[in-house]
Amino acid sequence: MVRVLTGIYRLTRPALFALAPEEAHELTVRALECGLYPRAFGADDRVLSQTVFGLEFKNPVGIAAGYDKDARVPDAMLGMGCGFAEIGTVTPHPQSGNPKPRVFRLVEDNALINRLGFNNGGHAAALARLEARMNRGGIVGVNIGANKDSVDRGEDYVLGLLRFNSVASYFTVNISSPNTPGLRDLQAPAALEALLARIMAARTRLTDDGAQRRPIVVKISPDIAADDIAPIVEKLVAYDVDAIAVSNTTLSRDGLKSRDAREAGGLSGRPAFQRSTAMLARIFKQTEGRIPLIGIGGIDSGERALEKIEAGATLLQLYTGLVYEGPSLIGEIKSYLAKTLHAGAHANLAAIRGRRAHDWAKRPL
């Protein structure tokens, strides 16, 4: 089945790539909305299942935020075989984002640059869609952010938590996008502490009122300076976050070949793999493996997925890899991971998680 899907995508990819990146993406999302997507065949291998922050994941492969900003197709992504889907980033009020063009394919590098700027339809639109699918099951996280013109960004995150608590399987606090001016400043230890204090207090109020406690993930940048990792992780541990997502897009442009390599925005895809995985391993070691990590950045094969887990990832998220490899990538990764575990007589992913973290952590950022 994976080979068939791969062949089909290779035939259709030239037509998609003939369109502007945002147009191709919108066409893909509309097809998913219409049910035009390959269904996952059969149950996932049990060795891929795991309980993470209280949720039962059938497999570790998820769709990253940014693909489905407005909660239009989470069920389609789950139907294609993902173990979880994350919608957003969603902000309290609708916003159009930055001027177009704002997404660029770097085909020679298997990468994308985007400077979208949290374009989305706002809380109300996404909430209505998520409420409509509440009884369908599956793990669907909500990635929350702040409006560009917000006078109190901390309040924007609190509003996201309050409004989506009834429909979100978990929350991701996005403070690491490079495309909203000043947003990454929230990663500074003092600002991060203030933000986490407000978010965790809001969650406590919800649970005190009888609402379900939702896990909170914090998504960080791969561009954090090496000396800043420890104080940032210290704050995340102190506020007992449920997981850390490593990482968002990077501003680095090292080694790129494509003509659009100098476009402003965040870089994702294959060139981001080394940096994001080295960062992942350093955080795994800093936390001594006690906090689940979501590995993001440059996963475009089963081998890359395995390397993320060996560096310390508990869960994985894809986006740019799907653009270049197509939907068969989901099944390819699951099959490769399951075969690796069986070949080594391992019972689950925990048996191999972080086994190469020491080596990866020594690589330069």
Q: Which residues are catalytic?
A: 177
Q: Tokens standing for 22? A: 């945002």
65 membership: H or E segment, kind and range: none
Gap between the Cα atoms of 170 and 199, Å rounded: 13
- Interacting residues of 341 by C-beta distance below 8 A, sequence separation 6+: 47, 48, 347, 348, 349, 351, 352
Please tell me whether residue 343 adopts helix, strand or coil conformation: helix
